[in-house]
Amino acid sequence: MKKFLIRLMSFALALLLLAPLCTGIGAAEEEADVTVLFTHDTHSHMLPSKEVDGGEFGGFARLAYAINEQREKYPNAILVDGGDFSMGSLFQTAYTSEAFELRTMGAIGYDAVTLGNHEFDYRADGIASMLNSAVNSGDRLPPIVSANHVPYGEDEAGYNEKLTRAFESYGVEDYIIIERGGTYFAIFGLFGEDAHICAPNAGLKYLDPVETAQKTVDAARAECLEKYNAEPVVIALSHCGTKKREGEDYNIAKNTSGIHLIVSAHTHTTIEEPILVDGTIIVSANEYAKYLGVASFNVNADGTAELKKYRLIPIDGNMPEDRAIANRIDDYCDIIDRNYLSQFGYSIDSVLVNNDYMFETVKELKAGLHESTVCNLYSDAYRDAAYKATGKMPDVSFTAAGVIRGSLPIGDITVYDVFRASSLGVGNEGELVAVYITGADLKQVLEMDATMQPKMKSAQLYFSGVEYSINKKRARFNRVDYAAIRRDDDTVEPIEDDELYYVVSGTFAFQLLDMIDAYSEGALSVVLRDENGDPIDKVFLFDHVIRDERGESLREWVAIAEYLESMGGKMDAKYASPDGRKVVYKSYLPWDLLRNPNKYTYASLFVFLLVSSVSVTAIVVGTKYIKKYAEKKKKEKAE
C-alpha cells in the first residue's frame, strides 16, 4: 500500500511538471497563421476623451502603447484602419493644413488605411489639401487604399485636377500587397453606399462595392501569384458597415469569394463575436479609439478563413501612453492653441465650468423620445449666443440628435470636451443660422420631433423657448397635443399660426428639416423665411449665418463654451433635471387622443368611424340574417 501511494504521488508530480509543457504544445498547435490589428472611426480623437461619468477612453498615445504590446506578442501582425480617421475633435481644425491624423498614424506604423465619408467633409479641395499637406510634411505616412471611390478620368464630367493630382502624389491605390513573416497580404479599400450618400461633394467616382470587391480580389490574387508565387491573405478595409448579421459588409461577404477578413467601419458597430460568412470573417471595434481590435486566424486549404483568437482591447485610463506619440500630440496641441483657439481666447485644456450632474450619453440621446438636460443646455446656449451677438433674443432655438457628437462629463469641462461634443465647427459647418418661420410651421417642426424620431433617430429635436407635450398613441403627424412659447420668465404664450417667430439653430439641423420633409413624403414641411416673411431659398441658407461685432460667424461650439463660462465656475443647477419643456406620454383616453386635432386626426377619426359603421352594419345585417335563417329552419322542422 505504501509503495502504491508513493507511485501515485510520483505520477501526480510528473503530471504537474509536464502540464506547462503540454499547455505550451497545445498553444503552439492553436497559434494562428495571421494576426491583424485594426481600428476605424477614430474621428480625430487623438487625445483621451471623457465619458459622462468622468472616466476616459481613447487617445492615440494609449492606442500606440496597446499596439506595441500586441506587436511584441505577434511580431508579424499587420495594423490597418477602416476610415473616418478625421473629424470629431479640435485636431480637425488643422485637417487641410497639417494632416495630423495621417501623420500620427504613420508614426504609429499603420500598414494601410482607407478613406471614410468624413474625410470628405471639406469637399474635394479639402481632402486634396490634406493629402498634399501630409506629403509635404516629409513624415512617414500610411498607404491609402480605395478601390471603388476613385478620381474621374480627364474626359469625364466630374474630373477634378487638384484632387486627382493629390491622389497621385500621395500614391492612393486600389490595393497593396505587403509581406510579413513570409506571408503575403492583399489589402484593399471599399466605400459604402450610405457613406457615398453622406459625402455628396467628395468629387470622386463611385463604383459598385460588390462588383469592385470581386474584381479587386481577383486582380490582387493574380498579381501575388505572378510576382511571388503565393496566395495572399485578402483583407478588405470597408467603410460600408455591418450591424448584427445584416448590412452592406454582410452583403459583400455573401456575394464575393476570396476575402478572408473584412474590417467593417462606418456604422461604429461593436462586434464582440466576429460574424462568419462563408469563410469570411467580419470584425468591428466601435469608435473613437475606444478599442484596439485583434483578430488571429488561419487560412485553410480551401481558401476559407478560420478564426482562432479575437479580442477588443479597451483603450482607457488604465492603459499607459507611448511617450513618443504623446510628445508628438503635445506639439500638435500647441499648434491648435496658437493657430485656431487663440482667436477665441482659449486653449485646448481651458476649463469652462465644473459640473456635478450626470448627463445622458449620445446613445441615450438617440434612444426614445424624451427631454434631455444636456440638449436643453445646448439649445439654451444658442439663444443666449444669438442674443449677445445681435441684441435680439430669438423666440426659439433647437438642436438635433443627429448633429450631436458627444455629451458633457462630470467634473471639469474643458474646451476640448465642448468641441468634441459639437465638433462641426469649422468653415460653414456648425455655424448658427437665424431665420423666421410662421407659427403654423413651428408646430410642424415640433411634430417632426414627435412623429419622425422612431424612424429617424437623428431627427429627435431639442428646443429652447417652447414647451410641448407628445402623446405617442395619437395619429401620426398629430402627436403633439399641446404647444406654447415659453419665455425666460416662465410665462407662456399660445403659438399663433400667422405670426412670424425668430428661430436659431445650426446649419446641419436646418438641413435635417429637408430630410424629414422627404422621409414624411411632404406631410411635414417647413418654409424658412426672412424677417419680412419672404421664403428663403435653402441654397442661400448660409447668407443668414449669425455674425458677431467683428463679422465672424457664430459657431455652435463657441456658443456652448461661452454659455458654460458665463456660469461663474459651477454648472447651473437648472440643468440637474428636466424642466418640463418636453413631456412625452402614452394615453388612449378620448380627450387625450382628440385634443387639438389637425387634419390627420380628423382623417383617422373618419376612418375609425367608417370602419366602426361598416362593422356595426355588418353585425346588424348578419344578426338579422342568422335570426331569419334560424326561424326558417325551425319552421321547416315543424312541418
Give a yes or no: residue 6 inside a domain.
no
Query: How far apart are alpha carbons 29 and 224 in whole angstroms?
Result: 28
Summarize the chain as % helix, strand, coil (round to 5): 40, 20, 35
Instruction: Examine the domain organization and report whether 121 and 262 are in the same domain.
Output: yes
Q: What does pTM read for this prediction? A: 0.87
Burial code (b: 16+ CB inside 10 Å, e: under 16) for 542-577 equals eebbbeeeeeebbbbbbbbbbbbbebeeebbeebee
Cα–Cα distance for residue pair 52/534, rounded to 1 Å: 43
CA atoms within 13 A on the CB side of 623: 6
Q: Domain holding 503: CATH number? A: 3.90.780.10
Q: How far apart are CA 373 and CA 578, in angstroms?
A: 6
Task: Count the residues in the chain.
Answer: 639
* Greatest C-alpha distance within the chain: 111
Show Cβ contacts of residue 597 under 8 Å, excluding neighbours closer than 6 positions.
Answer: 478, 605
Q: Is residue 21 part of a domain?
A: no
Candidates 111, 114, 426; CA nearest to 264 is: 114
Enumerate the H helices of 284-414 as residue ranges.
323-339, 362-365, 373-390
CA 30, 31, 33 angle in degrees (round to 5)? 125
> Three-class SS of residue 319?
coil
Q: List all residues 6 or more positions away from 599 whose beta carbon is below 8 Å from its beta carbon.
A: none
Structural domain that includes position 372: 347-591
- 328 inside domain: no
- Tell me, yes or no, whether 138 and 214 share the same domain: yes
Q: Are residues 141 and 284 in the same domain?
A: yes
pLDDT at 426: 53
Query: Pairing mode, if any, of strands 396-400 and 305-314?
Result: unpaired
3-state secondary structure of 80: strand
Q: What is the pLDDT of residue 27?
A: 30
- H-helix or E-strand spanning residue 39: strand 34-39
Residue 411 contacts residue 54 (beta carbons within 8 Å): yes
Residue 510 in any domain: the answer is yes
44 and 61 both lie in a single domain: yes
| Other beta carbons less than 10 A from residue 16's beta carbon | 9
What is the count of structural domains for the chain? 3
What pLDDT score was predicted for residue 227?
Answer: 97
Report the SS3 class of residue 312.
strand
Question: Phi then psi for 350, rounded to 5 degrees?
Answer: -60, 130
Closest CA to 381 of 430, 450, 337, 445: 430
Does some domain include residue 499? yes
Whether the Cβ atoms of residue 461 and residue 397 lie closer than 8 Å to each other: no
C-alpha cell at 573: 443647477
pLDDT computed for residue 537 by the predictor = 87
Same domain, 420 and 533: yes
Are the beta carbons of 313 and 291 closer than 8 angstroms? yes
The three grid cell numbers given for residue 338, joined into one nine-digit string? 496658437
CA 615 to CA 623: how far, in whole Å? Answer: 12
C-beta separation of 245 from 264 below 8 A: no
* Domain termination residue (choose one: 591, 608, 631): 591
> What is the C-alpha separation between 435 and 197, in angstroms, rounded?
27
- Listed in sequence order, the residues at least 6 apart from 608 whose beta carbon sits closer than 8 Å to its beta carbon are none
We report the CATH number of the domain holding residue 52 as: 3.60.21.10
**470: nearest Cα among 364, 577, 365, 595:** 595
The burial of 411, by beta-carbon neighbours within 10 Å (0-12 exposed, 13-18 middle, 19 or more buried), is given as: middle
User: Cβ-count burial of 319 within 10 angstroms (0-12 exposed, 13-18 middle, 19+ buried)?
Assistant: buried
**Is 18 contained in some domain?**
no
Do 174 and 197 lie in a common domain?
yes
Could you tell me if 514 and 552 lie in one domain?
yes
Inter-residue contact 485 to 443 (CB < 8 Å)? no
Answer whether residue 412 is part of any domain.
yes
* Residue numbers of the chain with a pLDDT score lower than 70: 1-30, 424-429, 602-610, 633, 636, 638-639
Are 137 and 235 in the same domain?
yes
What residues form DSSP beta bridges with 294?
37, 311
* Co-location of 285 and 316 in the same domain: yes
Q: What is the DSSP letter of 470?
A: E
- 8 A C-beta contact, residue 298 and residue 313: no
The verdict on 562 and 603 lying in the same domain is no
pLDDT value, residue 372: 95
CA distance 455 to 126: 33
Asked if residue 207 and residue 121 are part of one domain, the reply reads yes
Q: Can you give the pLDDT at residue 512?
A: 78
Cβ-Cβ contacts under 8 Å for 620 (sequence gap 6 or more): none
Same domain? For 124 and 228 the reply is yes
Give yes or no for a contact between 296 and 32, defined as CB atoms under 8 angstroms apart.
Answer: yes
Give the residue from 281, 283, 276 showing the smallest Cα distance to 311: 283
What cell was used for 610?
A: 367608417
Q: Is residue 250 part of a domain?
A: yes
Can you read off the three cell numbers belonging to residue 310?
479575437
